[in-house]
């Protein structure tokens, strides 16, 4: 099986899901958000993880959808916290309905994720739910750290990396681990796949930070320089603040404190500071270390080479994306 076939199977199954009927305003937002699509990376990883160990990957289909439902639940609530108006090119749920409806619909999505996970075999249900519970709590921890960082004057690189591990990477790790568990992999193999997913997730987020500054506008999926304009504490800004000495630090602080500025000028000026400090190169090096770790762990995994090759190719394509 290929990732494309997995994606087709997931889209068909997601379209068949019934989340509930009444009241309409509670369930329609769920159908709306799930129908907006997205890359479905996490459930595909679950099916890839299962297919490393079994040909009967269909047994992992509904639990894989649970991962996607949970992911979208976090997006629905994150959009409320961020006051985001757009998600995947369409109005966010709290904009299309209202914040209270979005909160309740998100709550139901979390319940539905558990309902889908109940399709796991009875003897695997306890470990699956235990790992899901830990992962779900970690994602919330990551979101809370991210919000806390907005009001903090200083954030260390180590703190930032732990935040993105929790907010983004652990769910990718769980997706692979879940598939392996459902495929009857050993506990050690499942844990190694979790590490692979986390390394990919860390590298992927660092790449997103990097592309926000150095990406090509025609390829990057959002406005280049948006993080600079928002003074967002990405790895690049944190690294720059740790490296900069006077007078570069004074110049950077001036741009961070500025309220009245030309956006193009600010992006160009801060990018020039990053160039002088070698921030982009540092980010690229660390990003590639995480990707290298992921592939090393995959090479060491005691699974059939042909099956590992499918996962490797998918990961390489994922890493190569510029949006």
**Percent with pLDDT over 70 in the chain:** 97
* HEC sequence for the chain: CCHHHHHHHHHHHHHHCCCCCCCHHHHHHHHHHHHCCCCCHHHHHHHHHHHCCCCCHHHHHHHHHHHHHHHHHHHHHHHHHHCCCEECCEECHHHHCCHHHHHHHHHHHHHHHHHHHCCCCHHHHHHHHHHHHHHHHHHHHHHHHHHHHHHCCCCCHHHHHHHHHHHHHHHHHHHHHHHHHHCCCCHHHHHHHHHHHHHHHHHHHHHHHHHHHHCCCCCCCCCCCHHHHCCCCCHHHHHHHHHCCCCHHHHHHHHHHCCCCCHHHHHHHHHHHHHHHCHHHHHHHHHHHHHHHHHHHHHHCCCCHHHHHHHHHHHHHHHHCCC
> Which tokens belong to 70?
């949970």
Diameter over CA atoms, the chain = 63
Q: Which residue has the tokens 């595909």?
A: 44
CB-CB contact of 269 with 240 (8 Å) = no
Architecture of domain 3-320: Orthogonal Bundle (1.10)
Whole-angstrom distance, CA of residue 52 vs CA of residue 317 = 18
> Which tokens belong to 256?
């961070």
Residue 222 banded pLDDT, cuts 50, 70, 90: low
pLDDT at residue 141 greater than cutoff 70? yes
Q: What is the pLDDT of residues 41-94, one digit of tens each?
A: 999 999 999 999 999 999 999 999 999 999 999 999 999 998 888 888 888 989
Q: Rg of the chain's alpha carbons, rounded to an integer?
A: 21
Q: Can you give the pLDDT at residue 89?
A: 83
Q: What is the mean pLDDT of residues 12-39?
A: 89
pLDDT at residue 207 greater than cutoff 80? yes
Q: What is the pLDDT of residues 112-138, one digit of tens each?
A: 999 999 999 999 999 999 999 999 999
Q: Can you give the pLDDT at residue 261?
A: 93
CB-CB contact of 294 with 206 (8 Å) = no
Whole-angstrom distance, CA of residue 268 vs CA of residue 302 = 48
Q: What is the pLDDT of residues 261-292, one digit of tens each?
A: 999 999 999 999 999 999 999 999 999 999 99
Determine if residue 40 is left, alpha or beta; phi over 0 gives left, psi from -120 to 50 gives alpha, anything else beta.
left
CB-CB contact of 124 with 116 (8 Å) = no
User: Nearest-CA neighbor of 74 among 124, 157, 137, 118?
Assistant: 137
> Which are the contacts of 155, defined by CB distance < 8 A and separation ≥ 6?
149, 233, 238
**Percent with pLDDT over 90 in the chain:** 82
Q: Can you give the pLDDT at residue 250?
A: 97
pLDDT at residue 323 greater than cutoff 50? no
Q: Can you give the pLDDT at residue 210?
A: 96
Whole-angstrom distance, CA of residue 259 vs CA of residue 253 = 12
CB neighbour class for 203 (10 Å; exposed up to 12, middle 13-18, buried from 19)? buried
List the domain boundaries for the chain: 3-320
Q: What is the pLDDT of residues 143-172, one digit of tens each?
A: 999 999 999 989 999 999 999 999 999 999
pLDDT at residue 298 greater than cutoff 90? yes
Whole-angstrom distance, CA of residue 94 vs CA of residue 102 = 5
């Amino acid at each position: 099986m290929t990732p494309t076939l997995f994606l087709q199977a997931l889209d068909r199954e997601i379209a068949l899901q019934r989340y509930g009927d009444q009241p309409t305003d509670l369930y329609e937002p769920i159908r709306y958000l799930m129908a907006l699509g997205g890359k479905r990376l996490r459930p595909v990883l679950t099916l890839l993880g299962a297919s490393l160990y079994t040909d009967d990957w269909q047994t992992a289909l509904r639990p894989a959808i649970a991962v996607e439902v949970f992911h979208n639940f976090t997006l629905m609530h994150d959009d409320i916290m961020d006051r985001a108006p757009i998600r995947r090119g369409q109005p966010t749920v709290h904009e299309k309905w209202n914040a209270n409806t979005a909160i309740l619909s998100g709550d139901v999505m979390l319940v539905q994720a558990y309902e889908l996970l109940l399709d796991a075999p009875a003897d695997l249900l306890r470990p699956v739910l235990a790992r899901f519970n830990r992962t779900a709590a970690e994602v919330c921890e990551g979101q809370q750290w991210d919000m806390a960082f907005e009001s903090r004057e200083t954030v260390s690189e180590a703190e930032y990396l732990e935040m993105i591990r929790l907010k983004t990477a652990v769910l990718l790790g769980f997706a692979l681990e879940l598939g392996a568990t459902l495929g009857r992999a050993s506990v050690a193999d499942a844990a190694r796949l979790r590490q692979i997913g986390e390394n990919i997730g860390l590298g992927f987020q660092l790449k997103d930070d990097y592309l926000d500054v150095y990406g090509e506008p025609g390829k990057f999926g959002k406005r280049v320089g948006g993080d600079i304009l928002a003074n967002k504490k990405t790895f690049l800004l944190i690294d720059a603040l740790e490296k900069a000495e006077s007078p570069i630090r004074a110049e950077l602080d001036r741009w961070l404190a500025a309220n009245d500025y030309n956006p193009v000028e600010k992006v160009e000026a801060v990018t020039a500071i990053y160039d002088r400090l070698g921030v982009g190169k540092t980010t690229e090096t660390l990003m590639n270390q995480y990707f290298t770790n992921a592939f090393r762990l995959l090479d060491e995994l005691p699974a059939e080479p042909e099956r590992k090759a499918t996962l490797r190719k998918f990961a390489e394509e994922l890493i190569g994306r510029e949006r």
